């Protein structure tokens, strides 16, 4: 298995590649040799001051460096990926590199070679830009490279890894077939308002009791952060300031702590939560907060072992919301809920959610969830 870690600069690619290698016993190959290549071929010249011709040479040398992974027999993980040759070359030359003869064929070769990897892990720019004494301290450039790379990845089978090195490594193991059996018992159910999350968790809890399973349902929103969040939101329902994102994220982190999730998992319990980090990301993403700021806000809130997403049509969600909670305008805002759903579907692809169509009877959805979570004991 050939595993590639990709992302814009200063996202932790090398650290994660080494962690995956150490944790799972997979050989690590250094792929991103940009610093050594520049020192050798363009000494004392900043990377953002290379001529168009020099950038063309650099990106071809980077391609060769990334390609070394395929000369390694067996499994390996690398902190480089051919596809990054395109956004870096384009952004460092303001697109002028595309005028060089042979570039179009090179770009196609990059794409075809990138498809040869068995697993591709993308790291969002959730880590603050720091000075590595090589790349320019230009956050706008960093974001432009990320946006182009992320767009290119949409035609690939990839998985987004977010959070701490430990959380990223654990998720990587799950994707490549080396799951943590303890952590996989931490299950979060996500979905639009009135998609049936709370009702399904209640039914699951009842079924677990009947089958003698240890299952803990997390208590939510009983903390100072959520109280402050709700108080502030009364003044502006659509407030998507950084302070509001912070309060919402901190409320979820508090939920994780007070429910003793890690301790319960260690004791063999199944832990189920009604919503978690992706609720923050979809709500504020729908209100216009950029993707990288959302990842920053929930950086130290670990991905659950499994995320089950109940996919309901936004119009159905709004209809149910008007019926059961007529004084909550956000839940009745169809345009907002359509944006939330679109983001959920994107994160479902990026983070490998388990999808359940919720436009069916409660009993039918309940059977699917029971089989997924308690199936081996039924």
- List pLDDT tens digits, range 278-315: 999 999 999 999 999 999 999 998 889 999 999 999 99
65 and 134 part of one domain: yes
CA atoms of 189 and 196, how far apart (whole Å)? 10
Q: Is the pLDDT of residue 75 over 90?
A: yes
pLDDT at 376: 53
Q: Is the pLDDT of residue 324 over 80?
A: no
CA distances (Å), origin 140, targets 8, 52, 241, 294: 12, 20, 20, 17
129 and 206 part of one domain: no
204 and 320 part of one domain: yes
Total number of domains in the chain: 2
Lateral strand order in the sheet of 2-6: 28-29, 76-78, 2-6, 119-122, 158-160
What residues make up the domain containing 14?
Answer: 2-173
150 and 88 part of one domain: yes
Select from 133, 153, 173 the last residue of a domain. Answer: 173
- CB neighbour class for 133 (10 Å; exposed up to 12, middle 13-18, buried from 19): exposed
The answer to whether 28 touches 77, Cβ cutoff 8 Å, is: yes
159 and 187 part of one domain: no
- Chain segment 325-341, per-residue pLDDT in tens: 777 888 899 999 999 99
260 and 276 part of one domain: yes
CA atoms of 152 and 87, how far apart (whole Å)? 9
340 and 226 part of one domain: yes
Select from 149, 173, 197 the last residue of a domain. Answer: 173
Select from 123, 139, 173 the last residue of a domain. Answer: 173
223 and 365 part of one domain: yes
168 and 201 part of one domain: no
- Chain segment 45-63, per-residue pLDDT in tens: 999 899 999 999 999 999 9
CATH number at residue 80: 3.40.50.300
276 and 352 part of one domain: yes
288 and 216 part of one domain: yes
- Of the chain, the percentage scoring pLDDT greater than 70 comes to 99
CA atoms of 172 and 95, how far apart (whole Å)? 34
CA distances (Å), origin 20, targets 26, 79, 109, 175: 7, 11, 28, 12
356 and 299 part of one domain: yes
- Chain segment 1-49, per-residue pLDDT in tens: 999 999 999 999 999 999 999 999 999 999 888 899 999 999 989 998 9
């Amino acid at each position: 298995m050939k595993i590639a870690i990709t992302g814009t600069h200063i996202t932790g690619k090398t650290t994660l590649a080494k962690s995956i290698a150490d944790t799972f016993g997979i050989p690590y190959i250094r792929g991103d040799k940009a610093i050594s290549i520049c020192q050798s071929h363009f000494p004392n010249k900043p990377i953002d001051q290379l001529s168009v011709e020099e950038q063309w040479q650099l990106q071809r040398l980077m391609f060769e460096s990334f390609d070394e992974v395929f000369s390694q027999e067996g499994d390996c993980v690398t902190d480089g990926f051919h596809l990054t040759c395109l956004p870096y070359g384009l952004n460092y030359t303001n697109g002028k590199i595309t005028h060089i003869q042979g570039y179009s064929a090179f770009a196609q070769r990059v794409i075809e070679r990138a498809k040869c990897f068995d697993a591709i892990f993308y790291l969002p720019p959730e880590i603050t830009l720091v000075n590595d004494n090589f790349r320019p301290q230009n956050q706008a450039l960093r974001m432009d490279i990320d946006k182009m790379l992320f767009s290119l990845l949409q035609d690939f089978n990839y998985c987004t890894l977010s959070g701490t090195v430990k959380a990223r490594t654990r998720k990587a193991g799950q994707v490549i077939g080396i799951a943590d059996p303890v952590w996989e018992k931490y299950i979060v159910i996500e979905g639009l308002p009135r998609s049936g999350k709370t009702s399904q968790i209640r039914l699951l809890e009842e079924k677990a009791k009947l089958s003698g399973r240890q299952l803990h349902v997390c208590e939510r929103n009983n903390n100072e952060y959520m109280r402050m969040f709700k108080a502030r939101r009364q003044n502006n329902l659509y407030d998507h300031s950084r302070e509001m994102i912070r309060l919402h994220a901190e409320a979820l982190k508090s939920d994780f702590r007070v429910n003793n999730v890690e301790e319960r998992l260690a004791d063999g319990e199944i832990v189920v939560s009604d919503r978690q980090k992706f609720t923050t990301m979809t709500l504020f993403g729908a209100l216009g907060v950029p993707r990288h700021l959302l990842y920053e806000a929930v950086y130290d809130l670990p991905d659950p072992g499994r995320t089950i997403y109940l996919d309901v049509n936004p119009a159905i969600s709004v209809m149910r919301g008007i019926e059961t909670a007529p004084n909550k305008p956000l839940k009745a805002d169809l345009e907002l809920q359509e944006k939330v759903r679109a983001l959920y579907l994107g994160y479902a692809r990026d983070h490998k959610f388990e999808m359940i169509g919720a436009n069916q009877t409660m009993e039918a959805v309940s059977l699917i969830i029971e089989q997924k979570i308690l199936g081996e004991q039924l």
